[in-house]
Structures are given as C-alpha cells and as structure tokens.
Structure 1
C-alpha cells in the first residue's frame, strides 16, 4: 500500500493543498503494516474534504498532485489511507526575465493588474536593503555599481521569505528578473519553488542601450520618463529629472554582457516551460503575447482537471 508520508506533506507547499493529515488504517490479516500517523495542521478548516483511497498502480499521486474538490467522492476500501486536506484555488507561479530595459516593469504591472499575482522583484528587495544601509545593502551596492550580479547568498533568502508570505501563497506570484544565473535557479528549485511558466522578453541590444541611456526619473512623482520615447510634459519637470546611477551606456553594456552570459544557463533549467516574447513590439502587443500564453496555460490546467475528474473511478 502506498504510504509515502514525506511526499504527502510536501504537497502542501507545491500544490493547492494547504494542510494534510494522514491517518493509518487498522491492520488486517492481509496487511500487518500500518502507516505512521502524521499531522500537518491546515490554516483554515473551510472547504475540507475526505478521501478514502487504496493503492492503485495508475494512481497519479505525487508531491505535486492537487486534489480538486469536484474530482473525487468518498469511498471505502480495506487497507486504505485516509487523506484529509484543505483545498484552495491553485494559483499561478510566473517568472519573467529579460535584459535591462526590456520592458519587464511595464509587463509586470499589466500582468498583476489582470491576474492578481503578487509582484516580487529581487532588485526592489535589494534596493530596499541599500536604502536602509544594512550590511547586505552595502555589499549589494558595490556589485551593482560594477554591473555585476549580487552574490546568491545575499538574495536567495530574501526571495524565499517573500514567496512564502501568505499573499504570495494564496494569490500566486510573479517573480521579476530572478533567477539571473543557473546557481540561483538551482537554489530556488532546491527550496521547492517551481514556476508554471517562464516568460523571456527578447529585445535587440541596440534598442536596449537606447532605452536605458534615455531613461529618467522624476524624484517628486516617481514617474519614469524617456527623453526620446516619453519626454516630460513641462520644462519644470525636465529640469528636476534624475538618471539612475547605473543607467549610463558604459554600465548598461556591462549589465547586458552579464545578462547574455547567464540567460542561456537559466533557460536550460526551464526549457520545457519557457515562452519567448518579441519585446521589440509595442507594450500592447507584448502584453497580448503574454496574455495569450497565460490564458492557454489556464485552459490547459482546466482541461487537465476535468480529465482527472472524468477518471475519478480509479481511486
């Protein structure tokens, strides 16, 4: 009889299950071995359901398997394991990547507005540390000023803590610009974070340099302008605009070199779920491509759930 307690408990962090309780059955003459009893308390008692399942060679049961409420009915079998869990709507987990000035910020805003995902930007987490003057922030600034990647040990734990917060778990997350290297991707995988889709914005290098060098920030309103593509409305605004310290041609080329050296390695980790987007198009056209990919993903997930419901008799 299947009784992998570790896999069952792990499911709560990688699927829609938020709590699992495994109760060992009473042994019979044909089955003297009982599973150990393990408790993983759910956060909420709502929408709970009970399953009584028996070992079946075709049972699709793994650490990443989710039990939709409509897919199963309660049945009784001897020598069975009873699983009780709290079910919630499975949320999207999205990664988006691209070179500096590829348009990630704009697309992240459009994605989160439509799909309600929590926007998590490793760069924002780092800048927050820099602003507070922490030791991690001081170290990170030295690397960023050189156009280099910040060491993994400074970033990984901050990202982990953010993705584990209740809003990220419940609503899903959009991880912006991270991971940027194979080692970071490996660290996330080891921590149990796996995206449903990896979006790569592809933009020509000449366009990227042009976008970065002309970019300006209004320190009063926080609005981003571009001297060529989105100039300030008045001379007063133009006079107070500032340029980010790493938005110079020299530094952006260093950042682009770093990006190109690492992006292929990152893609090797997510090659089966990567969607490449033409980032040279307009903002609206780029979002239309992304929206189409996410819509297709949700439709496939729905079809898969309905297919599993149609085969519920195997349990």
Structure 2
C-alpha cells in the first residue's frame, strides 16, 4: 500500500489476511493472501503452489484448476468489488490486483470524467447535475457503470469495481440486473491511522508523488518547499469523510455478506 510506515517491521506487524469462498457454476475460487510487504504464511503459500515461492505482496486468488482439478469448462472471468475508507490503501491494492490478475479497473470517478468528456447521453445528464452543484443521482451512476460492464474488454478479462456501489440503492440496482461479484473485499483500518495518514500527506505538484510528513518525508528541502496539501485533508473534513464512508459501507455490506473478505490493514 502507498507510503507504509518505515517503522513497521515484519516481526511486529500482524498478518493482513482473510478468506472468502464463492461457489459458482463450474468454478470455485478461494481468496486468501496478504496485503503486507512480507511473504504470506507458509500455509497460504502451500494453498497457492507447492513448487513456486509466493510473491511478497498482493492478493492470492488461486482456482481449483491450479490445485490439480480439471474443470469441465473454462472459468468465467473473475469479478471483484473492493471498498475502503479514504487513505486505506485501496488505490494501491487496486493497482496490484489489476497487474496480477489482468482485470479491468472500473472507478466511477474515472467513468464520470470520461463520459462527460466524450459528450455521451449519460455524460450530458451527469454534467447537468454537476454544473448545478448537485450530486449525480444513483441511477445515472448505475447506468454509467452498467454500460462499462457491457464492453468487450470487461467481458473477456473480468472486472474490479472500485468503491462502487456506494449506497443501498446502487447495490440493489445491480442486484436487480443480476450483476454480482465473485468476491467483495473490505479494507479495514483504525480511524486514528486513517486520520493521521490524511492529515500528514503532501502532494508534489511537479511529479505527482505523495509524501507523508512523518512516515514518508520528501528526499530534500527543494521538494519539501513545493509540497501542497489537499483542501479536504484537515482533521475536521477527514472525520466527516470517514463518517460518510461508514454510513455508506454499512448500507452496502449486507448485500454482499456472503461474499465478504474482510481485511484488517496495519501500517
């Protein structure tokens, strides 16, 4: 995950791991792994492969075929949802999952900007609300996501839905269309850690690199002098964002409780 504290060590950091099983037609997938920078425990490594050394980071998603069972037919592409509070490391985990498993990363923020920029019907609707200073309605966002999920690259490679659905209504809209993930990943980080990470982070406007005043300080004074702070990275605003996230998360999680992989993150 981004900018982990250098003070954390493999001997004192608890393992970050979880397990969830989804059984679908013709396939069963096991999610088990570690989001820390150290290697997974020996038991996890054996579950993945008895001959290859485990990678030190990332989520491990072996299928039954890899464990010796010959499936009757090819597996359908993997479908994953991931949720995490601001500064939980979700963006970093998404990049690693996409790199390892080749899924199409779908973020509603990226989709919204693309639709507006392209001038699509959905983009025009969204822009009307944005120009009026209003939130884009759930149905407009859902239409945008469903449209992206129908594209050929997503059908072929599978998808990683980042931070969506954000509300009960959005989750139920997907349910009504029988759009469900194989795995739902929830990153859990203590509030104090999240607040410290947000309030202490700084952006280098030249390189786009993210620093932290304590955990990951800049390399020199020149870089330090040009760092900026996000306007919403204040204690009060971070607390408010966390509360909003928790309310949304609590509304969504029951829909995917049978697919939930809850990951405790320490840093």
Task: Give 2:167's aligned residue.
Answer: 181
Unaligned runs of 5+ in 1: 1-13, 17-68, 72-86, 144-148, 283-315
State whether residues 216 and 227 of structure 1, in contact with CA within 8 Å, keep that contact through their aligned partners in structure 2.
yes
Higher relative contact order, structure no. (Cα contacts within 8 Å, ≥ 6 residues apart):
2
How far the C-alpha of 1:132 sits from its partner, in A, is 8.5
How far the C-alpha of 1:128 sits from its partner, in A, is 5.0
When residues 274 and 222 of structure 1 are mapped into structure 2, their CA distance, relative to the original with a 3 A threshold, is same
State whether residues 139 and 170 of structure 2, in contact with CA within 8 Å, keep that contact through their aligned partners in structure 1.
no
1:259 paired to 2:245 = yes
Q: Distance in 2 between matches of 1:222 and 1:202?
A: 26
Q: Distance in 1 between matches of 2:93 and 2:156?
A: 22
Task: Give 2:217's aligned residue.
Answer: 231
Task: Give 1:121's aligned residue.
Answer: 107
Task: Give 2:29's aligned residue.
Answer: none
CA RMSD in angstroms, aligned pairs only: 2.9
The counterpart of 1:193, out of the listed 170, 175, 179, is 179
Q: Distance in 1 between matches of 2:105 and 2:215?
A: 26
Partner SS for 1:185: helix
Task: Give 1:99's aligned residue.
Answer: 85
Q: Distance in 2 between matches of 1:154 and 1:240?
A: 39
The counterpart of 2:142, out of the listed 146, 156, 165, is 156
Q: Distance in 2 between matches of 1:130 and 1:252?
A: 28
Q: How many residues align?
A: 196
Task: Determine which structure has more spread, i.e. the larger CA radius of gyration.
Answer: 1
How far the C-alpha of 1:109 sits from its partner, in A, is 1.1
How far the C-alpha of 1:193 sits from its partner, in A, is 1.5
Q: Distance in 1 between matches of 2:196 and 2:110?
A: 23
How far the C-alpha of 1:274 sits from its partner, in A, is 0.3
1:270 paired to 2:241 = no
Task: Give 1:83's aligned residue.
Answer: none
How far the C-alpha of 1:102 sits from its partner, in A, is 1.1
State whether residues 189 and 264 of structure 2, in contact with CA within 8 Å, keep that contact through their aligned partners in structure 1.
yes
Q: TM-score, normalised by structure 1?
A: 0.55
1:119-151 alpha-carbon deviations (Å, 9 max, x no partner): 1112333455688897625744846xxxxx753
Q: Distance in 1 between matches of 2:196 and 2:221?
A: 22
State whether residues 130 and 140 of structure 1, in contact with CA within 8 Å, keep that contact through their aligned partners in structure 2.
no
Q: Distance in 2 between matches of 1:219 and 1:138?
A: 30
Q: Distance in 1 between matches of 2:186 and 2:166?
A: 12
Task: Give 2:14's aligned residue.
Answer: none
